[in-house]
């Protein structure tokens, strides 16, 4: 039996995640208490740090953008029961797509056009990096978990080689390319606001956030409204049924991994076109991996993914603020708190179900006779 | 003989002093899963040394009840009495120690172990296996001679036929001192001959004082072997009856809650042209086993061809090949004058395009995607058809309308398109699949186990639908392990054994004995 | 609820109180290695600690965990009223440059960078080749096999500059000395890979080296451990690392980023802050070699006087140690 069979929707997708979150905060609070800080104050700082201080919302939404792309990538693959752990590598190679397009064209053609092409480049390169494991799974039966993990390593090595030896800006210590030329890139919101005479705090928040929202809507249409989405979900629930239904399983797997990789690749537009304006080593910083937790927590639905991305964005940004505010809360501590929240709302997501179920039925509802 | 006084609950006098079985009584057992009540105040009494049947449709709560008795579920209310004493069955271990043994529908045996090793499993005795082996071997020999349970203790489980494996399960339970034996749908996998053998064993167990609870949906078996029967419906016991005082019709009526037609009226078939011809079909399974050997037959318009046989004799593979799920390896298939040879592209999509519909044997794994909504399942396999879509997109409104129509026409309940199909009963799931496939107006329908896990009420309806489809000129290939079903629906019957067609007969003059012989392969060797 | 409110008010009050009372507000942005890397970042941390100890003024700190946080951290510090911010390492150059332009009234100081140009920014460049020259000479003298090793962190011009100075120093005292060089990697991960460092050191020992110099950040700890395990000698870098394995740590090449940090803060405090590039070499005591109770037993008087002699010659200009980064080439 499916857990959610017993409880109404608002409880299973609203109340329980909320309780999980409270639990995580509670346990984090205990930890903070033991290192000698005031837990309430710390949480207040986190919340303010994520939403209140100048520029903080911008940072939160900037992280959110990364998580939306990475989360959608993982979620699409999940719908086909494929565990794409390669979001990190796909995002990284997506960055190569951005970099190559910009470096090759930014001197010669219109920068707006370069930006558009770079966005496409990120998706195409990411898709390419997803297709290979997809193909190996579909045609050779190599397990996608293994291959995508390996492709993360391959992506990292490839990028190191290219950035250190090929596309590094000469005479530069850090393995980075030269800056993309002025005008190439996705405009940051504070600059946009300045242009209209509104002054808002500087942050890396840029229009790729809105691209992420549009892509989320497209994701919903794709999965729940198209023939392809229908076949993807069929495959995800039951491969035997999918075969019975005449669905070309291999083709569907390869396509799903292409789109999934493409979505992950889009992380690069936020990072490279929106913020750094050059291709640099390690810009993915684990966002691809966090995407797995985001998708899990968001129940693979765009709205859920948006909300969990926002939560993770707030955690990242609020956590940074904790590090600023308390000298005793180090970045390792922040990592621990973030880990606790992932643990409670991801891995232990169903832990509270039996308990809530009991309370719900004992105090709120008389059972119906089935 | 024992006297049975179910409702009054008097003590029975067992005339076998050598081994005194136990009586068991359930009082007001209640078990809830969330808001679903699986058992509601179930009370029944099984007398010592009797065979007690429990019948009920799928989802009536039989399995839940037995799992409570075996300690797998904890009841929310009520109590269990063993020989008049209240007991608390908290775990299977506890249940075993109380003398309750269970033979599950799907055997719990390690295929690569010998019979002896399987019996020993979880009961190894000392650290050294040798010693335990010796004592258990002695005990097994005694048990098998007492009850006529003859098995070779040293052969591997995977080498044994299903009927023998079942005996091992029974031995396992007896070896642990079971005085009460619960059997869950024990005849589902057996040939008629094996069934007879099983019943002989059960009778001898009973005569030695063992109490037996038999869960089944086959009313004939209840009538043949039990002393008393409890009928369950909707989680409750609706009747406790003495078998002598009841009839299959009464039991069926109590199970379904209304009068049920047990026999079907067939119109005379109007058989037309041949539409499907299979010639010399051979097939090797992935493990390299010859699962089909030189299978040849044909079906015509307006004809139902029944394929009888014990499960696992090549029928499933035959369906898989014809429906395009498996590739054609050797042989030839001709559909409406189109010849298909090995090596040609052959998949379910192409099969559907050739107007062949398929109701698969396993509707839960294949025919439906259980978490999908009903309306989504109503297009499975037809999702790329123009009538359901516009461009890349599926046209949800069209699908909903179509679902509403067909649900009405084929009596799928509940009619709600927006609930998951796993919330439908087995029968309604099957009606949903059947509706979808018939809706495609096929020239040929392949159907496997049409009524497996389907309640009696729905069976009636499914038979009617199949016959109507046949009358409209569709050729139907019917694969089933239920002989009654094959005999009452088919115009012609072929029997399969070990991948071969071992016999063919007309539906009108087939008998169970004759078919049973063919199924077990005896007919040819004799 | 009231209690909570009280708590918050108290928290806010103390926060604002600290803002009012501080005359100068210094800040440090540590890089990815973290402030306890036992090397580069930690040395900066020690400088900041010294400042705090002497003046009683707290230093605000932040450790970055991803690329975007560098800029964020600096901006945040500036917004919070920090009037001097130390940016640690060349990786922070872009961010530091950008934020310095945004906050012309805030002072910045960046270490290992000499190519920026901001009126409110001081840049520290160290003559690591000079310090490495001295420890190279010491290594060659301490070596019994005539073979010494060098383990670099990330393969960048800066680290080659260390290596080149080291080789020159070794050759100065023993022209036949063999120097084995290995770089840990080509990415920032090479700064923090003690396992790889240990392997590289062992392989150099296998080839006969008996003194190894690690200029590899956190990777160095693996090198020193390997030396201690094999009974060979190791030379530390940046901070004085002699205490890590007394008896097998021959010396440490000091790169006084702590001094740079301390000096920056002190100059701002006293109003003597100047922008521009500051080069710290042997003469300025910005680089040097460590001699303390932990390595006393390893350094003979001859060694000591030789090194001091060499040091004086470098200071006076009598010996010119070649700087790899001046022409991306090493003559030795």
In this structure, the answer to whether residues C262 and C251 fall within a common structural domain is no
- The stretch B40-56 carries a mean pLDDT of 90
Round to whole Å and give the CA distance between B72 and B91. 6
By Cβ distance, the residue of A2, A221, A370 closest to B37 is A370
Comparing CB atoms, the residue among C61, C75, C93 nearest residue A202 is C75
- Residues of C whose CB is below 8 A from A38: 7, 11
Mean pLDDT of B36-50: 88
Q: Which of B370, B383, B422 sits opposite A245 (nearest CB)?
A: B383
A11-20, A343-352, C87-96, C202-211: range with lowest mean pLDDT: A343-352
What is the arrangement of strands in the sheet containing C60-63, beginning at the earlier edge strand?
C60-63, C26-30, C84-87, C107-111, C121-126, C276-280
Tell me which residue in A59, A203, A285 faces C67 most closely, judged by beta carbons.
Answer: A285
pLDDT tens by residue, B193-215:
788 889 999 998 898 889 999 98
Domain count for chain C: 2
What span, in angstroms and rounded, lies between the C-alpha atoms of B141 and B135?
10
- The fraction of chain A above a pLDDT of 90, given in percent, is 57
The Cα–Cα gap between C323 and C161 comes to 6
Which chain B residues contact residue A369 at CB under 8 A?
37, 40, 234-235
| DSSP for residue B361 | S
Q: Does residue C267 form part of some domain? A: yes
Task: Give me the mean pLDDT over the A42-48 stretch.
Answer: 89
Q: How far is A11 from chain B (nearest CA, A)?
A: 13
Q: How close B287 gets to chain A, by Cα (Å)?
A: 17
- Which chains, if any, share at least 3 CB pairs under 8 A with chain C? A
The 3-state DSSP class for residue B211 equals strand
Which residues on adjacent β-strands are paired with residue C236? C252
- Contact at CB, A230 and B383, closer than 8 angstroms: yes
Chains C and B touch (3+ CB pairs under 8 A): no
pLDDT of residue B219: 83
B154: helix, coil or strand?
coil
Query: Average pLDDT in the B244-260 region?
Result: 83
Can you say whether residue B399 is alpha, beta or left, with left for phi > 0 and alpha for psi between -120 and 50 degrees? alpha
* Tens digit of pLDDT at every position of chain C (332 positions): 555 555 555 555 454 444 444 478 999 999 887 888 777 888 999 999 999 999 999 999 998 888 888 999 999 899 888 999 999 988 899 899 999 999 999 999 999 998 899 999 999 999 999 999 999 999 999 999 999 999 999 888 889 999 999 999 999 999 999 999 999 987 778 888 999 999 999 999 999 999 999 999 889 999 999 999 999 999 999 888 999 999 999 999 999 999 999 999 999 999 889 999 999 999 999 999 999 999 999 999 999 999 999 999 999 999 999 998 888 888 87
Q: Which residues of chain A make contact with B365, given a CB cutoff of 8 A? A: 238, 240-241
- Closest residue in chain B to residue A364, using alpha carbons only: B35
Please report which residue ranges of B266-395 form alpha helices under DSSP H: 315-322, 348-353, 374-377
Residues C11 and C149 grouped into a single domain:
no
- Higher pLDDT: B336 or A264? It is A264
Of the candidates A38, A173, A204, the beta carbon closest to that of C68 is on A204
> Do both C76 and C133 map to the same domain?
no
Residue C106, in any domain of the structure: yes
Could you tell me if residue C185 is inside a domain?
Answer: yes
The beta-carbon neighbor of C90 closest among A174, A204, A281 is A174
**CB pairs < 8 Å spanning A and B:** 96
pLDDT of residue B11: 37
Domain B274-369+442-525 superfamily per CATH: P-loop containing nucleotide triphosphate hydrolases (3.40.50.300)
Q: Which candidate from B34, B324, B352 shows the least CB-CB separation from A357? A: B34
Delimit the domains of chain A by residue range: 8-37+331-355, 49-325
Name the CATH topology of B1-6+21-99+179-188+196-256.
Rossmann fold (3.40.50)
Here the ipTM equals: 0.82
**A317/B37 Cα distance (integer angstroms):** 48
Residues of C in contact with A338 (CB under 8 A): none
Residues C8, C101, single domain; the answer is: yes
CA angle, residues A246, A247, A248, in degrees to nearest 5: 115
* Residue C148, CA distances (Å) to C127, C167, C174 in order: 22, 9, 11
CA distance B150 to chain A (A): 39
B306 in Cβ contact with B490 (< 8 Å) = yes
* Subunit contact B37:A225, Cβ cutoff 8 A: no
Note the maximum CA span of chain C: 78
Per-residue confidence (pLDDT) for residue A348, from 0 to 100: 74
pLDDT at A5 over 60: no
Residues in A touching C158 (Cβ below 8 Å): 173
pLDDT at A326: 83
**Mean predicted confidence (pLDDT) in B463-469:** 91
What is the spatial distance between Cα B406 and Cα B61, in angstroms, rounded to a whole number?
Answer: 30
- Residue of higher predicted confidence among B125 and B139: B139
Chain A positions touching chain B (beta carbons under 8 Å): 1-2, 5-7, 221, 225-228, 230-231, 233-234, 237-238, 240-241, 243-246, 248, 357, 361, 365, 367-370
Q: Which chains touch A (3 or more CB pairs under 8 A)?
A: B, C
pLDDT of residue B14: 30
- A65, A177, A171, A180: which is closest to A114 by C-alpha? A180
Q: Is B369 in contact with A233 (Cβ distance < 8 A)?
A: yes
Q: Among the listed ranges B88-102, B180-194, C14-28, which one has the minimum average pLDDT value? A: C14-28
Highest mean pLDDT among A339-343, B22-26, B228-232, B386-390: B228-232
Residues C133 and C25 both lie in one domain: no
Tokens at residue B433, please? 């699949």
pLDDT, one tens digit per residue, over A181-193 is 988 999 999 999 9
Q: Which domain holds residue C313?
A: 128-255+287-327
**Is residue B262 pLDDT above 70, yes or no?**
no
Q: How far is B505 from chain A (nearest CA, A)?
A: 31
List pLDDT tens digits, range A76-129: 999 999 999 999 999 999 999 999 999 999 999 999 999 999 999 999 999 999
- Rounded to whole angstroms, what are the CA distances from A214 to A74, A234, A305, B56? 17, 25, 13, 53
Q: Where are the domains of chain B?
A: 1-6+21-99+179-188+196-256, 107-178, 274-369+442-525
Residue B125 has pLDDT above 80, yes or no: no
pLDDT in tens, B314-367: 999 999 999 999 999 999 999 988 898 998 888 999 999 999 999 998 888 899
**Residue C113 belongs to a domain:** yes
Do A and B make contact via 3 or more CB pairs under 8 A? The reply is yes
Q: Which of A45-59, A212-226, B110-124, B428-442 has the highest mean pLDDT?
A: A212-226
Residue B153 falls in which region: left (phi positive, over 0), alpha (psi -120 to 50) or beta: alpha
- Record: contact C75-A281, CB cut-off 8 A: no
The reported pTM is 0.80
Note whether residue C332 is domain-resident.
no
Residues C209 and C165 in one domain: yes
Same domain flag for C11 and C53: yes
Biggest CA pair distance of chain B: 78
The answer to whether residues C84 and C233 belong to one domain is no
């Amino acid at each position: 039996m499916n857990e959610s069979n017993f409880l109404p929707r608002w409880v299973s997708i609203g109340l329980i995640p909320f309780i999980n979150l409270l639990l995580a905060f509670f346990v984090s609070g205990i930890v903070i208490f033991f290192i000698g800080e005031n837990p309430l104050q710390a949480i207040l700082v986190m919340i303010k740090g994520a939403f209140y201080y100048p520029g903080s919302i911008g940072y939160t939404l900037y992280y959110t953008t990364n998580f939306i792309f990475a989360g959608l990538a993982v979620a699409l693959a999940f719908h086909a029961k494929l565990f794409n752990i390669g979001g990190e590598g796909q995002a990284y190679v997506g960055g190569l797509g951005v970099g190559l397009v910009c470096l090759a064209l930014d001197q010669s053609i219109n920068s707006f056009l370069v930006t558009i092409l770079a966005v496409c480049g990120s998706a195409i390169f990411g898709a390419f990096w997803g297709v290979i494991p997809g193909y190996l799974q579909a045609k050779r039966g190599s397990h996608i978990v293994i291959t995508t993990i390996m492709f993360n390593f391959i992506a990292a090595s490839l990028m190191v080689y290219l950035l250190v030896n090929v596309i590094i800006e000469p005479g530069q210590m850090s393995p980075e390319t030269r800056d993309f030329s002025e005008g190439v890139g996705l405009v940051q919101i504070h600059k946009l606001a300045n242009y209209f005479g509104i002054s808002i705090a500087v942050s890396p928040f840029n229009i790729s956030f809105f691209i992420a929202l549009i892509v989320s809507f497209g994701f919903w249409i794709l999965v729940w409204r198209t023939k392809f989405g229908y076949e993807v979900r069929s495959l995800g629930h039951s491969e035997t049924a999918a075969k019975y239904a005449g669905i070309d399983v291999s083709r569907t797997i390869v396509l799903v991994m292409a789109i999934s990789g493409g979505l992950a690749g889009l992380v690069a537009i936020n990072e490279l076109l929106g913020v750094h304006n050059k291709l640099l080593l390690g810009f993915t910083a684990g966002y691809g991996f966090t995407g797995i937790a985001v998708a899990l927590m968001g129940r693979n639905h765009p709205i859920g993914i948006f909300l969990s991305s926002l939560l993770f964005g707030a955690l990242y940004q609020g956590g940074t603020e904790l590090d600023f505010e308390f000298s005793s809360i180090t970045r390792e501590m922040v990592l621990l708190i973030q880990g606790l929240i992932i643990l409670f709302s991801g891995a232990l997501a169903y832990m509270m179900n039996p308990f809530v179920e009991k309370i719900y039925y004992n105090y709120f509802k008389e059972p119906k006779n089935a | 003989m024992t006297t049975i006084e179910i409702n009054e609950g008097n003590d029975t006098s067992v005339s076998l002093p050598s081994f005194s079985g136990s009586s068991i009584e359930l009082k007001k057992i209640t078990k809830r899963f969330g808001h679903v009540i699986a058992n509601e105040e179930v009370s029944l009494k099984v007398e010592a040394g009797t065979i007690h049947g429990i019948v009920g449709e799928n989802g009536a709560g039989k399995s839940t009840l037995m799992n409570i008795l075996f300690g797998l579920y904890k009841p929310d209310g009520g109590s269990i009495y063993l020989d008049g004493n209240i007991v608390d069955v908290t775990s299977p271990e506890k249940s075993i120690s109380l003398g309750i043994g269970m033979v599950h529908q799907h055997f719990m045996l390690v295929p690569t172990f010998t019979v002896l090793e399987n019996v020993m499993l979880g009961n190894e005795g000392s650290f050294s296996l040798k010693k335990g082996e010796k004592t258990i071997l002695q005990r097994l020999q005694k048990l098998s001679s007492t009850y006529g349970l003859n098995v070779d203790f040293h052969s591997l489980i995977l080498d044994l036929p299903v009927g023998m494996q079942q005996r091992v399960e029974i031995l396992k339970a007896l070896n642990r001192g079971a005085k009460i034996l619960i059997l869950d749908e024990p005849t589902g996998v057996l040939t008629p001959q094996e069934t007879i053998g099983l019943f002989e064993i059960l009778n001898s167990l009973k005569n030695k004082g063992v109490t037996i609870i038999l869960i089944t949906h086959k009313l004939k078996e209840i009538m043949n072997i039990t002393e008393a029967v409890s009928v369950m419906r909707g989680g409750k016991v609706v009747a406790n009856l003495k078998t002598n005082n009841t009839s299959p019709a009464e039991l069926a009526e109590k199970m379904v809650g209304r009068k049920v037609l047990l026999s079907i009226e067939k119109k005379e078939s109007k058989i037309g042209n041949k539409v499907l011809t299979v010639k010399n079909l051979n097939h090797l399974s992935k493990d390299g086993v010859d699962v089909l050997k030189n299978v040849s037959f044909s079906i015509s318009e307006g004809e139902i061809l029944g394929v009888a046989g014990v499960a696992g004799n090549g029928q499933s593979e035959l369906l898989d090949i014809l429906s395009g799920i498996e590739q054609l390896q050797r042989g030839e298939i001709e559909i409406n004058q189109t010849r298909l040879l090995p090596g040609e592209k052959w998949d379910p999509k192409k099969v559907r395009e050739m107007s062949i519909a398929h109701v698969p044997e396993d509707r839960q794994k294949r025919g439906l995607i259980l978490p999908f909504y009903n309306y989504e399942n109503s297009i499975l396999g037809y999702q790329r058809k123009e009538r359901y879509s516009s461009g890349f997109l599926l046209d949800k409104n069209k699908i909903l309308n179509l679902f509403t129509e067909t649900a009405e026409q084929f009596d799928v309940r509940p009619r709600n398109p927006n609930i998951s199909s796993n919330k439908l009963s087995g029968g309604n799931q099957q009606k949903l699949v059947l509706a979808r496939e018939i809706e495609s107006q096929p020239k040929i329908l392949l159907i496997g186990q049409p009524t497996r896990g389907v309640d009696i009420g729905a069976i009636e309806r499914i038979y009617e639908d199949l016959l109507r489809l046949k009358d409209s000129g569709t050729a139907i290939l019917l694969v089933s392990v239920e002989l009654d079903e094959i005999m009452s629906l088919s115009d012609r019957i072929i029997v399969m054994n070990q991948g071969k067609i071992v016999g063919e007969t007309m539906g009108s003059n087939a008998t169970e004995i004759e078919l049973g012989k063919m199924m077990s392969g005896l007919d040819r060797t004799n | 609820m009231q209690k909570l409110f009280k708590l918050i008010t108290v928290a806010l009050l103390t926060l604002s109180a600290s803002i009012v009372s501080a005359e100068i507000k210094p800040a440090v942005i540590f890089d990815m290695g973290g402030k306890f890397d036992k090397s580069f970042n930690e040395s900066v941390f020690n400088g900041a600690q010294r400042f705090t100890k002497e003046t009683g003024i707290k230093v605000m700190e932040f450790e970055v965990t991803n690329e975007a946080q560098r800029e964020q951290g600096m901006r945040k510090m500036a917004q919070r009223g920090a009037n001097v911010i130390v940016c640690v390492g060349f990786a922070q150059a872009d961010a530091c440059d950008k934020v310095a332009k945004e906050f012309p009234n805030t002072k910045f100081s960046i270490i290992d960078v000499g190519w920026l140009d901001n009126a409110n920014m001081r840049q520290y460049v160290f003559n690591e080749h000079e310090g490495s020259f001295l420890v190279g000479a010491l290594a060659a003298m301490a070596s019994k096999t005539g073979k010494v090793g060098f383990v670099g962190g990330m393969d960048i011009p800066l680290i080659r500059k260390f290596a080149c100075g080291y080789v020159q120093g070794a050759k100065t005292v023993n022209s036949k000395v063999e120097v084995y060089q290995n770089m840990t990697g080509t990415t920032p991960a090479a700064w923090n890979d003690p396992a790889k460092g240990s392997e590289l050191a062992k392989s150099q020992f296998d080839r006969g080296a008996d003194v190894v110099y690690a200029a590899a950040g956190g990777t160095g700890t693996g090198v020193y451990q390997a030396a201690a395990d094999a009974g060979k000698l190791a030379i530390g870098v940046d901070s004085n690392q002699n205490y890590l394995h007394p008896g097998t740590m021959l010396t440490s090449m000091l790169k006084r980023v702590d001094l740079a940090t301390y000096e920056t803060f002190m100059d701002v405090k006293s109003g003597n802050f100047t922008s521009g590039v500051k080069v710290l070499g042997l003469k300025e005591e910005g680089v040097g070699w460590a001699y303390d109770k932990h390595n006393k037993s390893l350094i003979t008087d001859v060694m000591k006087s030789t090194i001091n002699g060499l040091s004086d010659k470098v200071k006076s200009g009598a010996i010119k140690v070649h700087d790899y980064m001046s022409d991306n080439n090493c003559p030795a």
